Amino acid sequence: MFRKLVSLDEAKRIVKQSLSLKPVGVERVSLSEAHNRVLAEDVVALRDVPPFSRSTVDGFAVRAADTFGADEDRSVALKLCGSIRVGENSSVVVEKGETAEIVTGAPLPQGADAVVMLEYVVQKGKTVLTHRAVSRGENVMEAGSDIHEGAVTLKMGQALSSREVGVLAALGLKQVDVYKRPRVAVISTGAEIVEPGKPLTPGKIYDINAHTLSAAVKECDGEPVSWGIVLDEASRLKATLKEALDSADVVVTSGGVSVGPTDVVPQVINALGEPGVIVSGIAVKPGKPTTIAIVNGKPVFSLPGHPTSALLIFHLLVRPLILSMAGRQEETPVLVKATASAKMFPARGRRTFIMVSLTREKSGGLFASPVGLGLSGAITTLAEADGFVEVEESRQFINAGEEVTVRLFKPVRVVSWRK
């Protein structure tokens, strides 16, 4: 039933193989809620944008051929036949030798095929003298020139920034199908933890993980559902896990997975459904006492109680899963090269992650310094760290002065290069 300690790479492989990385579902949201969501459909233009040919300037709509020969010294006289305002369904028709006054954004009248800008024209009553020749289409934005009817304008899987929201608006869409955000149940276990704000009796500490993990879930487009603190007591824990599994897509617990006598999480999980625990312990530091389970197709990650360990394992294993389930593309971690400012000792035989802060020296060099006393229980470790150095299982140590690669804590996709 239990597997032995697996390597981090093996754990990642097992997660990928055993779990569905597909989006959890689709929901329809209004345009005003679409920002920052991920499209679950290709968006096909149901009409041309713009829907009609528009003037891009204030001036006079003309037949381009009528203006040939006009220049600064020589004007061409046209007969004013009307005026077109924006937003109006005008019946004006520009015949040969005629022109109609037009403003920016107004529909080009029938017969006209170009617009002469206001500043090149002198108007004398019903006579308009143009001092400029224009070519067909000049100062006109043709119907459909921005988006053609029938074109796939945005693609399934695209994240909607302000700019894509603009495209949806241009197409007249009031609603759009986006991927649902995976619901992630967050459960803290442990007899010693107390909800912040409540009095702290001797021997107790405040619950950190429920709050860091809920925030971390938001940071990867999940929707955290807090189940609060559950005692390490089998029946209570079982009931909570069952409810959480019923209502959430992913369950994340923290605490209660080390070797102590009160660590009942794995046993309870195995009793809930098949296949139960699939990874029990990972050869990683910090974060060794991590278990991964699947109960009726849903993943349960039981993370260590120490905040740094819990958040690190979340970043390495849970975050990529939630991003996939939210329909997001795999992210490229942001890596920077820096010089180790002190000797670093990884744990032998385990993939070691050393939290570091980055310092830019006056010389311009970038230095990575380990933070947090090496204690994975220290919360300041998290707050002070800019990222972490990943050390291979086989390394004995990293020397001061050696170049290291730091993975920044906030992996951001700076830009998606086109192929």
What's the angle, vertex CA 333, arms to CA 38 and CA 257, rounded to 5? 90
Pick the binder of a copy of itself from 65, 215, 234, 239 (CB under 8 A). Answer: 215
Stretch that binds a copy of itself, among 12-20, 67-75, 186-194, 276-284 (CB under 8 A): 186-194
SS3 165: helix
- Cβ atoms of 189 and 256 within 8 Å: the answer is yes
| Residue count (the chain) | 419
Work out which of 29, 129, 141, 271 binds a copy of itself, going by CB under 8 A. Answer: 141
Among 118, 272, 342, 347, binds a copy of itself (CB under 8 A): 118
Among residues 87, 274, 330, 392, which is the contact residue for a copy of itself, using CB under 8 A? 87
Please say whether the beta carbons of 189 and 208 come within 8 A.
no
Residue 405 interacting with a copy of itself (CB under 8 A): no
- Min. distance of Cβ 204 from a copy of itself in angstroms? 6
Minimum distance from CB of 406 to a copy of itself (Å)? 9
Q: Which helix (H) or strand (E) covers residue 186, if one does?
A: strand 183-189
Q: Which of 2, 22, 26, 56 binds a copy of itself (CB under 8 A)?
A: 56
- Decide if 248 contacts 183 (C-beta within 8 A): yes
Q: Does 90 bind a copy of itself (CB under 8 A)?
A: yes
Q: Quick check: 310 and 33 in contact, CB under 8 A?
A: no
Q: Which of 13, 22, 85, 348 binds a copy of itself (CB under 8 A)?
A: 85
Amino acid at 50: P
Q: In this chain, which of 38, 60, 75, 107 binds a copy of itself, going by CB under 8 A?
A: 107
Q: Alpha carbon of 276 to those of 16, 114, 249, 329: distances in Å?
A: 16, 71, 16, 28
User: With CB under 8 A as the contact rule, which of the stretches 14-22, 212-220, 246-254, 397-405 interacts with a copy of itself?
Assistant: 212-220
| Residues forming a β-bridge with 362 | none
Beta bridge partner(s), residue 66: none
* 166 versus 297: smaller Cβ distance to a copy of itself: 166
How far is Cα 357 from Cα 383, in angstroms, rounded to an integer?
10
| Tokens encoding 284 | 């990683």
Within 10 angstroms of residue 77's Cβ, the number of other Cβ atoms is 14
Residue linked to tokens 């070797």: 259
Minimum separation from the CB atom of position 220 to a copy of itself (A): 10
Binders of a copy of itself among residues 343 to 402 (CB under 8 A) are 357-360, 366, 373, 375, 377-380, 382-383, 385-387
- Closest C-alpha to 352, from 367, 370, 338: 370
d(CA 378, CA 314): 17
- Residues in 249-288 that interact with a copy of itself by CB under 8 A: 258-262
Least separation, in Å, of the C-beta of 47 and a copy of itself?
7
Q: Of the two residues 175 and 399, which places its CB atom closer to a copy of itself in the complex?
A: 175
| Interface with a copy of itself, residue 320, by CB under 8 A | no
Among 327, 344, 367, 353, which Cα is nearest to 409's? Answer: 353
Residues 142-161 that bind a copy of itself (CB under 8 A): 145-147, 153-154, 160-161
Taking CB under 8 A as the binding criterion, the range among 127-135, 233-241, 266-274, 403-411 that sits at the site for a copy of itself is 403-411
Looking at the Cβ atoms of 96 and 413, the one nearer to a copy of itself is: 413
Residues 6+ apart with CB under 8 A from 218: 224
- In the list 126, 202, 330, 363, the residue contacting a copy of itself (rule: CB under 8 A) is 202
Residue closer to a copy of itself (CB basis): 299 or 387: 387
Reply yes or no: is the peptide bond before residue 51 cis, omega within 30 of 0.
Answer: no
Is 276 or 287 the residue whose CB approaches a copy of itself more closely?
287
Interface with a copy of itself: number of residues (CB under 8 A): 109
